[in-house]
């Protein structure tokens, strides 16, 4: 009684798009087969993320820290024999 159900992997968890026909708690064998995403779907997903950080108050601090690390002088390690 094999059944194919689409889902999305999140770490070690798989979120199914629909409920499977087996009872909750059943032992199952999972076979992973990645589905190809069309260019249009990929583009749509990327565009849906626009502005995701817009109201995140932690972003300026993160970029300030990155800038400080990039411009910090760490000197050169000169080894002599």
Rounded alpha-carbon distances, angstroms, from residue 65 to 49, 58, 69, 73: 24, 11, 6, 14
User: CB under 8 Å to 22, separation ≥6 — which residues?
Assistant: 3, 28
pLDDT value of residue 9:
92
pTM of the model: 0.45
Closest of 4, 52, 48 to residue 28, by C-alpha: 4
Q: Which residue has the higher pLDDT, 74 or 21?
A: 21
């Amino acid at each position: 009684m094999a059944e194919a159900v689409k889902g999305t992997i999140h770490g070690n968890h798989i979120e199914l798009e629909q409920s499977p026909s087996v009872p909750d708690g059943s032992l199952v064998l999972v076979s992973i087969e990645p589905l190809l995403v069309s260019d249009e779907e990929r583009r749509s997903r990327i565009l849906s993320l626009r502005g995701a950080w817009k109201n995140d108050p932690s972003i300026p601090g993160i970029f300030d820290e990155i800038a400080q690390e990039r411009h910090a002088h760490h000197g050169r390690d000169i080894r002599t024999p």
